[in-house]
Amino acid sequence: MEAALKAIVAPHRRQILSLVRDDELSAGAIAAHFDVTRPAVSQHLTVLKEAGLVEERRNGTRRLYRARPEGLLPIREFLEEFWDERLGALKREAEAEERKKDGRDS
């Protein structure tokens, strides 16, 4: 998850992800959407690929990229677990409060 988190923390990489979410695009086509140089985009693509957030397919001299949403699953699971456990904690707190009320002066 660490790699995926570090990957999506960079705004440019999130934008790239959005670009290749629906369509499979070449590295050049992706770079055309940004002000930064093409090598910079290439480096971002490498990071995304190594984080499992993007898959690469070679076609002649081109490299086509497409989003791999499964790569975001670990982050989702982390967030959801955190969420659920916190709700559980709130429930326990409420029950403790309830017990305190019931048992007071006893």
Partner DNA sequence: CACTTACGTTAGTTCCTGCTTACATATAGC
Partner DNA sequence: GCTATATGTAAGCAGGAACTAACGTAAGTG
100 binds a second copy (CB under 8 A): no
91 binds a second copy (CB under 8 A): no
Q: Show the binding pattern over residues 13-32: x = contacts a second copy (CB under 8 A), - = does not.
A: ----xx--xxx---------
Distance of CA 78 to the CA centre of its chain: 11
CB atoms within 10 A of CB 75: 16
- Partner whose binding site includes residue 29, from a second copy, DNA, none (CB under 5 to 8 Å by kind): DNA
Distance CA 60, CA 31 (A): 18
Comparing CA positions, the residue from 64, 56, 84, 76 lying closest to residue 4 is 76
Residues that bind a second copy (CB under 8 A): 2, 5-6, 8-9, 11, 17-18, 21-23, 67, 69, 72, 75-76, 79-80, 82-83, 85-87, 89, 92
